[in-house]
Structures are given as structure tokens and as C-alpha cells.
Amino acid sequence: MAQITASMVKELREKTDAPMMECKSALVEADGDMARAEEILRVKLGSKASKAASRITAEGLVTVYIADDAKTGSIVEVNCETDFVAKNEDFINFVDDIAKLIAEKAPADLAALAELPFRDGTVESVRTALVGKIGENISVRRFEQYATDAKLAQYVHSGKIGVIVDFSGDDEVGKDVAMHVAAMKPRALSAEQVAAEEIEAERSVAAQKAAESGKPENIVEKMVEGAVNKFLKEVTLLSQPFVKNDKQSVEQMLKENNAAVSSYAIYVVGEGIERRNEDFAAEVAAVTGA
């Protein structure tokens, strides 16, 4: 049997928010396999075992830039250490200017962006100077550049959530879809775009839950498929109930308005970045005996 260490329990706790004892039990049952232990917790605890990415703690801004012709644009996230700096005028101007530069120059990646001519130097030299001026670390975390023959729409909520949508149809429809994405945070446009491993993970959890019901195998199979279909409906943009009218799906709303969406991006400031202040050392040690 694999040795269950304090660090393993702490890692699983941070990934799931599950109680320490539950984390240790899951790791023991999974013989130290972290992915399997997380799956076990989801089966046992359901929504209580939330993903770590749902805890948004890092600071910064998400900005969307769209050109006047609505054909080119970008979405970018720039991080800093405190919300105070995220409201600093120099920081805000830096983020806005970077978003415009990305839309116009379409750099291939973060390294290429850093080398682009910018103001009186490069993006990297200006960033470094801003760090020295403000006194906090600043980093351009991620971006996407868009160029389309259709149209681009956007929605930004308080600089913390940003959405850009590539669509065809009336401008109002594009804005509505962008707001819907910000509110509902779909993982993919359609079921075909959901990663196979995500679907299999849901199928595995559903199968284990259904097996515990004690129902006949043919019923269990239907329960599993029903659970997977429900999951796909909840996480795909086109299948989600439209926020302005939950009696119809986003796809139905688009057809009703002779519109279509080809792609979108949503950024949430700090998504997936952990900055936990709690010290779990004593609790972990007590649970593991370390």
C-alpha cells in the first residue's frame, strides 16, 4: 500500500475543499492515486467536493479590445498582487494598451508579445518599468487574438470577468450571448468540443453512483447516459438555457434571430491560481499522524 503523506492530503484538500479525514480516506482507498482519490470524493460528497479552480483569489484585470469594424479584437488577463494596484491608472492603461496591441499585431504567444515594440521600448521593458514604479509584480498571464469575417462582441464585468464572442447576426444578439457566457461560464460551445477525458470522468462518477443504487444493469446504463447528457447540457453554450429566457436554449434563441456563434472566450481573473492564506499544517499532521 502506498504511503499517504501529509503533503498528499494537503494537496487533495486544496483541490477539493473536502474535509481532511475524507481526503485521507480517499487516498487510502485509491492507494495514493491522486486523480482516483479526487474521483472517489466526488462520488461520496457530490458538489461539496468543489474544484480548486472555483476559488478565485489572484488579482488583476481582464480586458477586451474590439476594433471599430468589429472584425479584429483580443482578450487579455494581466495579474498583479493586490486589488489596490488593479485600480491604479497606470496599470489600467497598460492592460488596455496591451489588449489593443495584441489585436493589431497578433503575437503567436506570450514570448512573442513580450518582444513586441511598445511605447518607448518593448512590452517586457515597459512591464518591468511599471513593476519598478508601482512596487508590485505584474505579469501578462494569457491572451487570445481574434480576426473574423463575421463580427465580434464583448462583455466585461468589473474588470474581473471578460468575454469575447465571434458571431453573426444583430449586434444585440452578440451582446446578449457575451453576457450569457459571463453569467453561465460554459466550458465549450457544443458537446462535440467537450474534452473526451472530461466526459469519461463524468461517466465514471455517474457509473459508480448508479451502481450503488442496486438497480438492474439496463437501468444503470440509462442512468449513466442520462447523467452524462445532463452534464453536457449544463456545460455547453448552445445547450444551456438562455439567461434572458430560460424557456429556450441559447441555440434556439440564435436560430430565432437568424444568428450563429462560431467561437468565444471567457477569462476570469485569477482562475486556477491558488493563493490560500490558511495554514493547514497542524490539521494535516493531526490527520496523517505526521
- Dihedral, CA of residue 277, residue 279, residue 284 and residue 285, to nearest 10: 160
pLDDT tier for residue 173 given thresholds of 50, 70 and 90: very high
Ranges of H-type helices in 188-265: 196-211, 217-235, 250-256
**What integer pLDDT is reported at residue 51 of this predicted model?**
43
Question: 61 near 95, Cβ under 8 Å?
Answer: yes
Q: How many CB atoms lie within 10 A of CB 69?
A: 9
Q: What is the pTM of this model?
A: 0.74
Count CA atoms closer than 13 A to 243's CA, side-chain side: 14
Report the distance separating Cα 159 and Cα 176, nearest Å. Answer: 18
Domains of the chain: 6-52 (1.10.8.10), 55-147 (3.30.479.20)
Report the distance separating Cα 46 and Cα 88, nearest Å. Answer: 41
**Rounded mean pLDDT of the chain?**
88
Share of the chain above pLDDT 70, in %: 89
Say which range, 1-10, 62-71, 140-149, 281-290, has the weakest mean pLDDT. Answer: 281-290
**What integer pLDDT is reported at residue 56 of this predicted model?**
34
C-alpha cell at 37: 482519490
17-58: per-residue pLDDT in tens?
Answer: 677 788 888 899 999 998 888 888 877 765 444 443 343 337
Report the distance separating Cα 127 and Cα 129, nearest Å. Answer: 5
C-alpha cell at 19: 474535509
**What integer pLDDT is reported at residue 275 of this predicted model?**
58
- Which residues 6+ apart lie within 8 Å of 263 measured at CB? 165, 166, 189
216-272: per-residue pLDDT in tens?
Answer: 888 888 998 999 999 999 999 999 999 999 999 999 999 999 999 999 999 999 887
Q: How far apart are the first and last CA of the chain?
A: 17
User: Does 73 score more than 50 pLDDT?
Assistant: yes
Q: Which residue in this structure is represented by grid cell 482519490?
A: 37
| CA distances in angstroms from 57 to 94, 220, 281, listed in the order given | 21, 40, 20
Average pLDDT score over residue span 181-193? 96
DSSP letter for each residue of 64-95:
EEE-TTSSEEEEEEEEES-HHHHT-HHHHHHH
**What integer pLDDT is reported at residue 176 of this predicted model?**
98
**What integer pLDDT is reported at residue 285 of this predicted model?**
57
